[in-house]
Amino acid sequence: MIRSFLDSFKDPQRPLLAPSYWYLKKIGLILPENKINKVIFVIIHELVTVFVITQYTELYMIRSDLDLVITNLKVSIVSVICIVKTNTFIFWQSSWKEVIDYVTEADNDERQDSDTAMGHILSSYTKYCHRLVKCYWILLLSTFFCVTGTPLIRYLSSSNYRNAISNGTEPFPHIFSSWVPFDKYSFPGCWVTVCLHIFICAYGAMIMTAYDTIALVTMVFFGGKLELLRERCKKMFGCDGLGVTDEQARTALRDVHIVHVHLIKYSRLFDSLLSPVMFLYVVMCSFMLCASAFQLTLATNTTQKLLMAQYLIFGIVVPFMFCWHSNNVLEQSNQAIMGPYESEWWVIGSKQRKDVLILTEQLKIFQAYSAGPFNKLTLSTFVSILKGAYSYYALLRN
């Protein structure tokens, strides 16, 4: 059974994107062709959006209790990011499919090349992507159990807390703070609310996993494509010092030019899809990290501290992964510029040498992925997020 489940991830048509694409279809971010199924998935997505609105309604109602607000704010922020990912992916479905189709087609074209060096690059980034997806799944799964298990752990680890719930001095613990149109602190409403929260949390974890893995794998692909482009530039005039004909040189230059133009086109399209979501990440992540760190310092129970620390790790790792891979793409673009200089350009004619200089200038046209109109997704942006989180934390502590 486990073997068949793992085999379902494999797709010979999508050797790179198979696990991520499978997950996108299963969770409904890539809407099915069947109209009824499509409507069902859209309704589910929008019902979760309504649930997130009820979270902020509840936050407004409990605004006088700072500790309770901070406790629920860290989860509510992630909920907002989750529904923004869902709705933007559905709204820009055609553009996302265009990017995914380009990545699939370009990756398959590269795999037709029998060159050993390029094959090593392909194998390297493919294995890295599959490991990255698995690690991200593990991270989100552990975070899911952390979020859903926190009230239960708190209940089991403190006899005083259990007694307080029994005598009514403490309310029934819930995973989220959200408004519902019934009494959520007494039976059966309390358990209905718990089941609803577990479903919402599982849904959110799956959405985060599906969206983030396809985005991260696409970033890795663009970085690998730039590395392959550099390798192609090295060998466009041969590797034996004997040179090539003018026609062969023109063909090689034209092929590299076309590959780079397509790469820039779809990289910019991908950035336009990702940038609004990452802008929200940058703005809200500092608040989430601040709330998690502040709550961690106030916790007295060791088990609760471990659960809060895990959630804090999740809040740090996710933006770091985006900034790290975006920064890597930028580094690879800078390295790709060296490709024409590493080729045997001296064996071609003067006219083709001018074309090489033009190509070199073209290869300089690349930019880091952005987080809105003000920030680039680089490691310096990640450091700024941590600095902002620490500033908010220091303000709360004082």
The string of pLDDT tens digits covering residues 74-97 is: 778 888 889 999 999 999 999 999
Q: Give the model confidence (pLDDT) of 52-74 as tens digits.
A: 888 888 887 877 776 677 777 77
- Residue 12, preceding peptide bond in cis (omega within 30° of 0): no
Which amino acid, residue 239? C
pLDDT score recorded for residue 7: 54
Task: Summarize pLDDT for 92-137 with one digit per residue, the tens.
Answer: 999 999 999 999 999 998 888 777 788 899 999 999 998 999 999 9
Q: Give residue 66's identity as a one-letter amino acid code.
A: L
Residue with tokens 């490991």, as numbered in its chain: 131
d(CA 155, CA 149) in angstroms, rounded, equals: 10
3-state DSSP percent of the chain in helix, strand and coil, to 5? 80, 0, 20
Crossing angle for the helix pair 246-298 and 93-110, to the nearest 10 degrees:
120
- Provide the token pair at 172: 């029934």
**CA-CA distance, 201 to 211, in Å (whole number)?**
15
Q: Say yes or no to pLDDT of 4 above 60.
A: no
Tokens (6 digits) for 124? 């390297």
pLDDT confidence bin for 6, thresholds 50/70/90: very low
Nearest residue to 275 via CA among 371, 373, 375: 371
Tell me how crowded residue 342 is: count the other CB atoms within 10 A of its CB: 12
Three-class SS of residue 235?
coil
Mean model confidence pLDDT for the chain = 85
In whole angstroms, what is the distance from residue 127 CA to residue 133 CA? Answer: 10
What are 299's two structure tokens?
A: 């916790």
Q: Rounded CA gap, 49 and 86, in Å?
A: 9
| Short-list 334, 160, 169, 336, CA closest to 236 | 336
**Phi, psi of 375, rounded to the nearest 5 degrees:** -125, 150
Does residue 39 carry a pLDDT above 70? yes
Q: What pLDDT does residue 296 have?
A: 75
SS3 (DSSP) at 336: helix
28: left (phi over 0), alpha (psi -120 to 50) or beta: left
Give the residue among 364, 370, 365, 337 at the shortest CA–CA distance from 270.
370
Beta-bridge partners for 370:
376
CA distance 269 to 137: 26
pLDDT at 303 over 70: no
